[in-house]
């Protein structure tokens, strides 16, 4: 995979027998997935044809490979076309044929040859506990590898919630002292493509957008491309009309669930989750969790694992062991507080009555009721 | 922790605790003052004045014919914003879910489009209520910090709620957080100000009704 | 008229004029804040500052002056309650959220608590929170008395009545005047009988101004042939201790009547046409006495209505023409004597045209609560009673009846000062004038 990257994309396409027309079609599809103007497809196609394939170094740290699994299921553009036609994936320890020192040598070479120009893709969080010993490759900790790789990167694309926001390793109690990439690297542009895993087309689309334009796209406050993370799942959800009509599934097997009503009461985090699940969907636009009857977990948001139960409605109080306060827990607090209040009340009434007692006049109060 | 997590987590917990402490403190604190029993001979039976008291809870919601000419518009305004508020608070599904997790049971809600319309109407009535309070000479004279702050905090909850559903000005979760946080502040303020009238109104009417019914008088 | 309370200097009896501000505040606090009970605390807690009570008050309606809003009349005591006795009193004090009530403030409120409140209780019917504002004003008056701030007229009359049994000295004692009235009207006055079923008393207003009403009472009782007596030691129905706000004097003055009623083994203490005496004796006396009274307390109006109902009283047709009736607040709104006067009028086939606001919703005559005795309150009183006078005019009635001497006196005073044309008549006198022997069929044909 350590091909030189002097060959232009256009030449490669020609070699593979891909016509200019079909390449423009492909780029237009990708552009529309990114909600770019229709004309952008042709521009992208033209630029790509003129460009040498950019080098990409893909590092995996404390992760589950789910993100990569997702990436390999990209339909538009497909991972094959991406890897073979658009980018030069110079290092990915899972996908590459080479292993051991050969693989590490490929990485070092790519980073050296393309210093300042390669795209660094990171998936997984970076554990810093135990001197970084929780996650190593070739005897080096992920922190070291990341710092070294970040130096020559044009930009870092964090794929998945772990590298973007820390994800599950970062969740309480965070035993490995894991951190997102942004906590380790402060001096490089970072694009977060969050999700657990991210939508494959969002990963490839973001890479494509960056390599074709060479620019960091518009990002939201969590450094996610606005083109994919600009609106909430709730706002684009096909079940939204049921929310507006006040029709809700109350359990997973009730009439409402069968009728496909809104899953808000079952804990859906759609209203607070920004991602393209409701529009691009999954598996080539087949479906997405809400469509298959399960509430959104909010996996594209920071700290999604620590925000209470997946099945606790968004507006419900959130404390207690299960992340969802049970009426009993609430009753305990309310009861204890009311008891404390009653004690204060008894005390204040006692003080007032003591003062009344001291004065000798008959009570000034007007009588009520029967003796 | 983000603002939503804070609002519906620790802040809500603290607010609920303060609310319960304050309400119990205030009610116990005056209810345990001296109670004197009336030694005069009642005109009516115990049944009559107990029922007179219970009746007054309902009848006092509607002004007597003799008063309606002077108080009608003001009372209509007062009661209608309360009704609007009740509808929005009790019939909006996210609120029902919230209350349901407090009480352990839920009830059917209204479509959110209707709730939005009701909220905007209630908001308008709220502004009218404030306008009346500052322009009516009697009300202005009687008003103090409690009246204005209680108005403000209730209004804030209403406005942030509307902003959250309309996604105005900030991401939904931030607005929702602010909305719940403002409700937390309302809960904390509740026992210390006039919002307590929610607890007082029915017993107070009942006592007045019973005292008058005991004498055989109209209440 | 926008007349801030401050423009009125306190109107004080010489005996109370010399007190220091500190002793006034201490007295007021002792009288109210420290002795506030659960019920009055609840009332003070419940106010939501809606101002609706203003719309029940004839002083506010007549002047549109916000200071006459009923609940505002107890403002210093609301303030004192919050600071001194409410559950959050420590917080109010600690953070200085409520200022201490000052002697000046109390002096200013004398005008609001005495001159411009009849304790008529109309505001207690309008309050959406169900606050009995009139009861709070009664308590505030107690505190004002303890602060030495009762108005001169009420203080002096109360002190005199407490000491002598009569609110004012008279050339002849009331006892002698009573007998003279009997002689003049040719009716027997049962006096100081050792035992009687019914003990009678008399409003001083009637002795001084309406002797015919005294005679009417005696005549009706004679006609009914019931065992009854006046008692020299307990003649006066009114209780100026109640007006002035002195719980102690009110108690002592009521005790005179209670003791006399017990002495003559009366089963009933009959209250003549005097609303304030009814409130003081029917509803408040037992509490001050400390135990239930060993006899019934009844207003003469309800007594007569019962006699009528029982067939012991027959009445002829009264030729009063178109007639209207003023409901005395203390008897009707606050006392529940609602149907009795109407039953009597019906029996006399009176063509009754009710006032626009009648029964429990009747406006006060403006004289109640001792206001008619306070000289400086007169201009405001005349102004506020216009409402009532207009309602009476609007009925087009030829005859105007009421069943309370104080109301009657207040209307007569309006006749003098406002050149008002109508004369208030006593319902009791009308009954006395239309008595039929029990054997004859009553005017209404059947019993009402």
- Pick from C284, C271, C295, C256: which is nearest to B40 by CA? C284
Strand A153-159 versus strand A118-123 pairing type: parallel
B25 CB within 8 Å of a chain C CB: yes
Buried-state track A13-34, b at ≥16 Cβ within 10 A, e below 16: beeeeeeeeebbebbbebbebb
Name chain C contacts of A359, Cβ cutoff 8 Å: 30, 34-35
Q: How many Å apart are CA B86 and CA B76, to the nearest integer?
A: 15
**What are chain B's partners, defined as 3 or more CB pairs within 8 angstroms?**
A, C
- Our CA angle for C204, C206, C211, nearest 5°, is 130
Report whether C210 contacts C405 (CB < 8 A). yes
Hey, what are A168's tokens? 């599950």
Closest CA relative to residue B218, chosen from B30, B106, B65: B65
State the pLDDT at residue C60. 97
Residue C138 contacts A, CB cutoff 8 Å: yes
pLDDT of residue A5: 53
Q: Which of A234, A261, A317, A326 to mutate to test the interface with B (most CBs of B within 10 A)?
A: A317
Contact flag C296-B197 (C-beta cutoff 8 Å)? no
Give the start-end residues of each E strand in chain B. none
Instruction: State chain B's mean pLDDT as an integer.
Output: 92
Whether chain B has a CB inside 8 Å of the CB on A352: the answer is yes
Give the ranges where C348-439 is alpha helix by DSSP (H). Answer: 378-384, 386-395, 405-417, 427-433
How many angstroms separate the CA of residue C40 from the nearest CA in chain A? 7
Confirm if A47 and A209 have CB atoms less than 8 A apart: no
Residue A357's pLDDT is what?
66
The pair of structure tokens assigned to B40 is: 């005069």
Structure-token pair, residue C447: 């019993």
pLDDT score, position A32: 72
User: Which pLDDT does position B1 carry in this prediction?
Assistant: 61
The single-letter DSSP state of residue C114 is: I
Does any CB of chain A come closer than 8 Å to the CB of residue C247?
yes
More confident residue, C218 or B219: C218
Query: SS3 of C336, please?
Result: coil
Range from A280-284, A345-349, A363-367, C326-330 carrying the lowest mean pLDDT: A363-367
The bridge status of strand A55-60 relative to strand A118-123 is parallel
Of C36, C125, C335, the CB nearest to B64: C125
Cα–chain center distance at A23: 30
**Inter-chain residue contact C85 with A368, CB threshold 8 Å:** no
Q: Are A137 and A173 in contact (CB under 8 A)?
A: no
The position carrying tokens 């109006």 is C301
Query: How many C-beta atoms lie closer than 10 Å to residue B108's C-beta?
Result: 10
Average pLDDT over residues A302-316: 86
Partners for C (CB, 8 Å, 3+ pairs)?
A, B
Q: Are C374 and C114 in contact (CB under 8 A)?
A: yes
Residues 108-167 of chain A with CB under 8 A from chain B are none
Alpha carbon distance C308, C340 (integer Å):
10
Indicate whether A38 pLDDT > 80: no
Instruction: Locate C213 and state its tokens.
Output: 């009403």
How far off is chain C from B115, nearest CA to CA, in Å? 27
Using the predicted structure, report yes or no on whether residue B128 has a pLDDT greater than 80: yes
Q: Does C36 touch chain B (CB under 8 A)?
A: yes
Q: Which of A236, A333, A345, A354 to mutate to test the interface with B (most CBs of B within 10 A)?
A: A345
Q: Which of B26, B60, B137 sits opposite C130 (nearest CB)?
A: B60
The per-residue pLDDT for C8 is 63
A323/chain C closest Cα distance in angstroms? 35
pLDDT band at A174 (very low <50, low <70, confident <90, very high): very high
Q: What is the pLDDT along chain C (448 residues), one digit of tens a residue?
A: 344 444 567 889 888 888 899 999 988 988 776 568 999 999 999 999 999 999 999 999 999 999 999 999 999 999 999 988 899 988 888 888 888 899 999 999 999 999 999 999 999 999 999 999 999 999 999 999 999 999 999 999 999 999 999 999 999 999 999 999 999 999 999 999 999 999 999 999 999 999 999 999 999 999 999 999 999 999 999 999 999 999 999 999 999 999 999 999 999 999 999 999 999 999 999 999 999 999 999 999 999 999 999 999 999 999 999 999 999 999 999 999 999 999 999 999 999 999 999 999 999 999 999 999 999 999 999 999 999 999 999 999 999 999 999 999 999 999 889 888 899 999 999 999 999 987 665 555 444 3
Gyration radius from chain C CA atoms? 22
- Give the strand pairing for A178-179 and A126-127: antiparallel
Q: Answer whether C42 sits within 8 Å of B204, measured CB to CB.
A: yes
- Please list every residue in chain C whose beta carbon sits closer than 8 Å to the beta carbon of residue B147: 49
Peptide bond into A197 cis (omega under 30): yes
> Over 80: is that where the pLDDT of A52 sits?
no
Alpha-carbon gap, residue C225 to C312, rounded angstroms: 10
CB neighbours of residue C47 within 10 Å: 22
Q: Are C404 and C274 in contact (CB under 8 A)?
A: yes
Specify the pLDDT at position C33.
63
Contacts of A189 (CB under 8 A, 6+ apart): A154, A155, A156, A216
Q: Quick check: B187 pLDDT over 60?
A: yes
Q: Helices marked H in C189-338 — which ranges?
A: 204-208, 211-224, 240-244, 247-263, 275-278, 285-289, 300-310
Q: For residue A271, give the chain B residue with the closest CA.
A: B172
Tokens, residue B49:
């004045």
pLDDT of residue C312: 93
Q: Which of B12, B17, B29 sits opposite A317 (nearest CB)?
A: B12
Nearest residue, CB atoms, A362 vs list C39, C85, C247: C247
Query: Could you say which residues from 81 to 100 on chain B have a Cβ atom under 8 Å away from some Cβ of chain A?
Result: 93-95, 97-98, 100
* Dist. CA A128–CA A180, nearest whole Å: 11
Chain A nearest-CA distance from B100, in A, is 8
Q: What digits encode the pLDDT tens for the residues A156-173? A: 999 999 999 999 999 999
What does pTM read for this prediction? 0.84
Residue A63 in contact with residue A71, Cβ under 8 Å? no
The answer to whether the beta carbons of residues B15 and B184 sit under 8 Å apart is: yes
Give yes or no for B108 touching A (CB within 8 A): yes
Return the pLDDT at A365: 55
Pairing of strands A153-159, A178-179: unpaired
Q: Is residue A278 within 8 Å of A238, Cβ to Cβ? A: yes
Residue A177's H or E segment, with its range, is none
Does B78 sit within 8 Å of C128, measured CB to CB?
A: yes
Cα distances from C180 to residues A336, C174, C337, in angstroms, run 74, 10, 31
What's the pLDDT at B192? 95
The answer to whether the beta carbons of residues A61 and A127 sit under 8 Å apart is yes
Whether residue B27 has pLDDT greater than 90 = yes
* Residue of C4, C44, C87, C281 for testing the chain B interface, max B β-carbons within 10 Å: C87
Q: CA-CA distance, C126 to C130, in Å (whole number)?
A: 8
**Nearest C-alpha neighbor of C110 from the set C80, C82, C73, C78:** C73
In this structure, chain C runs to a length of: 448
Within 10 angstroms of residue A300's Cβ, the number of other Cβ atoms is 31
pLDDT band at A95 (very low <50, low <70, confident <90, very high): confident
d(CA A167, CA A157) in angstroms, rounded, equals 15
- Who among A265, A346, A371 is closest to B39 (CB)? A371
The mean predicted confidence, pLDDT, of chain A is: 85
CB-CB contact of B92 with B104 (8 Å): no
- C290-348 pLDDT, tens per residue? 999 999 999 999 999 999 999 999 999 999 999 999 999 999 999 999 999 999 999 99
Is-contact C107 C170, C-beta < 8 A? no
For A5, list phi and psi in degrees, rounded to 5.
-115, 35
Q: How far away is chain A from the Cα of B165, in angstroms, using its nearest Cα?
A: 10
Q: Shortest CB distance from A364 goes to which of C38, C87, C142?
A: C142
**Sorting pLDDT into bands at 50, 70 and 90, what band is B100?**
confident
Closest-CA distance, A350 to chain C, in angstroms, reads 10
Contact B94 A314 (CB under 8 A): yes
Residues B24, B4: Cα–Cα separation, whole Å:
28
Note the ipTM here. 0.94
Q: Which two tokens stand for residue C148?
A: 């030495």
Where b means 16+ CB within 10 Å and e means fewer, C304-318 reads bbebbeeeebbbbeb
Instruction: Flag whether residue B41 sits within 8 Å of chain A, measured between CB atoms.
Output: no
Contact (Cβ atoms closer than 8 angstroms) between residue B133 and residue B139: yes
Model confidence band, residue A3 (pLDDT cutoffs 50, 70, 90): very low
CA distances from C186 to C72, C218, C228, C267, C392 (A): 51, 10, 18, 27, 34
Q: Tell me whether A354 touches chain B (CB under 8 Å).
A: no
C-beta separation of A248 from A216 below 8 A = no
Q: How confident is the model at residue A363 (pLDDT cuts 50, 70, 90)?
A: very low
Q: Chains contacting A with at least 3 CB pairs below 8 Å?
A: B, C
Cα–Cα–Cα angle for C79, B133, C361, rounded to 5 degrees: 80
- CA pair distance A80, C117, nearest whole angstrom: 93
Given a contact cutoff of 8 angstroms between Cβ atoms, the answer to whether A288 and A281 are in contact is yes
Q: Residue B172 class from Cβ within 10 Å (0-12 exposed, 13-18 middle, 19+ buried)?
A: buried
Of B29, B36, B142, the CB nearest to C37: B36
Query: Of A10-19, A49-58, B23-32, C344-353, where does mean pLDDT reach its minimum?
Result: A10-19
Element (H, E) at C154: helix C152-164
Would you state the pLDDT for residue C447? 44
3-class DSSP assignment, residue C326: strand
Six-digit token pair at B46? 């115990």
- DSSP string of B7-65, one letter each residue: HHTHHHHHHHHHHHHHHHHHHHHHHTS---B--SPPSS-HHHHHHHHHHHHHHTTS--H
| CB burial of residue B114 (10 Å; 0-12, 13-18, 19+) | middle
């Amino acid at each position: 995979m350590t091909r030189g990257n002097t060959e232009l994309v256009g030449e490669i396409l020609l070699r593979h027998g891909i016509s200019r027309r079909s390449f423009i079609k492909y780029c237009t599809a990708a552009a529309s997935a990114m909600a770019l103007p229709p004309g952008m497809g042709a521009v992208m196609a033209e630029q790509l044809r003129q460009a040498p394939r950019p080098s990409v170094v893909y590092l995996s740290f404390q992760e589950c490979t789910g993100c990569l699994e997702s990436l390999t299921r990209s339909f538009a553009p497909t991972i094959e076309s991406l890897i073979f036609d658009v980018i030069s994936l110079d290092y990915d320890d899972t996908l590459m044929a080479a292993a051991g020192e050969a693989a590490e040598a490929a990485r070092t070479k790519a980073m050296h040859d393309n210093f300042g120009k390669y795209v660094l893709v990171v998936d997984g969080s970076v554990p810093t506990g135990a001197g970084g010993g929780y996650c190593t490759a070739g005897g080096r900790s992920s922190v070291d590898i990341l710092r070294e790789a970040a130096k020559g990167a044009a930009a870092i694309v964090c794929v998945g919630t772990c590298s973007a926001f820390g994800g599950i390793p970062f969740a309480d109690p965070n035993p490995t002292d894991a951190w997102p990439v942004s906590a380790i690297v402060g001096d490089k542009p970072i694009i977060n493509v969050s999700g657990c895993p991210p939508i494959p087309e969002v990963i490839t689309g973001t890479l494509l957008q960056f390599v074709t334009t060479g620019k960091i796209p518009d990002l939201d406050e969590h450094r996610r491309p606005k083109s994919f993370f600009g609106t909430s799942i709730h706002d684009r959800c096909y079940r939204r009309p049921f929310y507006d009509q006040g029709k809700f599934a109350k359990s997973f097997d009730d009439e409402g669930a069968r009728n496909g009503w809104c899953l808000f009461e079952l804990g859906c985090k759609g209203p607070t989750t920004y991602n393209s699940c409701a529009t691009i969907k999954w598996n080539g636009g087949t479906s997405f969790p809400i469509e298959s009857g399960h509430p959104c977990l909010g996996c594209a948001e920071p700290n999604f694992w620590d925000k209470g139960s997946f099945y606790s409605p968004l507006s419900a109080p959130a404390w207690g062991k299960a992340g969802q306060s049970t009426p009993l827990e609430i009753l305990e607090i309310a009861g204890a507080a009311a008891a404390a209040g009653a004690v204060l009340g008894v005390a204040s009434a006692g003080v007032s009555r003591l003062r009344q007692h001291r004065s000798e006049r008959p009570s000034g109060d007007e009588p009520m009721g029967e003796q | 922790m983000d603002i939503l997590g804070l609002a519906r987590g620790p802040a809500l917990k603290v607010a609920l605790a303060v609310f319960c402490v304050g309400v119990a403190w205030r009610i116990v604190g005056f209810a345990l003052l001296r109670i004197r029993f009336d030694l005069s001979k009642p005109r009516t039976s115990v049944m009559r004045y107990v029922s007179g008291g219970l009746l007054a809870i309902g009848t006092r919601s509607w002004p007597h014919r003799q008063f309606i000419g002077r108080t009608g518009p003001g009372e209509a305004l007062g009661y209608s914003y309360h009704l609007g508020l009740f509808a929005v608070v009790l019939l909006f599904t996210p609120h029902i879910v919230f209350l349901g997790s407090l009480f352990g049971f839920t009830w059917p809600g209204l479509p959110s489009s209707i709730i939005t319309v009701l909220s905007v109407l209630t908001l308008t009535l709220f502004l009218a209520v404030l306008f009346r309070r500052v322009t009516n000479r009697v009300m202005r004279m009687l008003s103090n910090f409690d009246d204005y702050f209680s108005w403000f905090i209730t209004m804030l909850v209403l406005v942030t709620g509307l902003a959250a559903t309309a996604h105005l000005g900030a991401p939904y979760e931030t607005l929702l957080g602010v909305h719940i946080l403002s409700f937390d502040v309302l809960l904390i303020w509740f026992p210390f100000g006039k919002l307590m009238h929610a607890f007082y109104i029915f017993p107070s009417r009942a006592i007045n009704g019973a005292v008058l019914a005991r004498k055989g008088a109209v209440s | 008229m926008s007349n801030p309370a401050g423009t009125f200097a306190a109107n004080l009896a010489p005996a109370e004029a010399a007190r220091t501000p500190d002793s006034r505040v201490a007295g007021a606090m002792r009288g109210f804040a420290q002795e506030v009970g659960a019920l009055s605390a609840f009332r003070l807690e419940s106010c939501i500052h809606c101002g609706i009570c203003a719309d029940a008050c004839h002083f506010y309606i007549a002047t549109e002056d916000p200071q006459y809003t009923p609940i505002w009349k107890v403002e210093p005591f609301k303030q004192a309650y919050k600071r001194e006795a409410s559950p959050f009193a420590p917080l109010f004090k600690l953070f200085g959220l409520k200022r201490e009530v000052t002697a000046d403030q109390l002096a200013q409120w004398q005008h609001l608590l005495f001159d411009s409140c009849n304790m008529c209780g109309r505001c207690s019917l309008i309050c959406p929170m169900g606050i009995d504002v009139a009861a709070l004003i009664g308590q505030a008056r107690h505190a004002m008395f303890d602060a030495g701030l009762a108005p001169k007229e009420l203080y002096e009359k109360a002190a005199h009545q407490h000491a002598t049994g009569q609110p004012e000295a008279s050339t002849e004692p009331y006892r002698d005047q009573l007998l003279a009235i009997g002689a003049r009207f040719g009716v027997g006055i049962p006096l100081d009988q050792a035992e009687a079923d019914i003990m009678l008393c008399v409003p001083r207003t009637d002795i001084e101004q309406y002797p015919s009403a005294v005679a009417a009472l005696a005549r009706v009782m004679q006609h009914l042939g019931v065992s009854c007596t006046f008692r020299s030691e307990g003649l006066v129905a009114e209780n100026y201790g109640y007006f002035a706000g002195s719980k102690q004097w009110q108690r002592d003055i009521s005790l005179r009547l209670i003791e006399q009623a017990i002495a003559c083994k009366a089963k009933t203490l009959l209250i003549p046409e005097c609303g304030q005496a009814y409130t003081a004796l029917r509803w408040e006396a037992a509490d001050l006495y400390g135990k239930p009274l060993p006899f019934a307390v009844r207003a003469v109006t309800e007594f007569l209505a019962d006699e009528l109902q029982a067939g012991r009283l027959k009445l002829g047709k009264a030729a009063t023409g178109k007639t209207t009736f003023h409901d005395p607040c203390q008897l009707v709104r606050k006392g529940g004597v609602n149907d009795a006067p109407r039953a009597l009028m019906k029996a006399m086939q009176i063509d009754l045209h009710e006032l626009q606001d009648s029964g429990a919703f009747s406006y006060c005559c403006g004289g109640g609560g001792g206001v008619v005795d306070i000289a400086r309150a007169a201009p405001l009183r005349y102004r506020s009673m216009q409402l009532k006078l207009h309602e009476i005019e609007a009925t087009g009635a030829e005859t105007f009846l009421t069943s309370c001497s104080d109301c009657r006196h207040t209307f007569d005073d309006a006749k003098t000062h406002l050149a008002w044309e109508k004369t208030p008549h006593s319902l009791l006198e009308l009954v006395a004038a239309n008595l039929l022997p029990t054997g004859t069929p009553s005017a209404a044909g059947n019993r009402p």
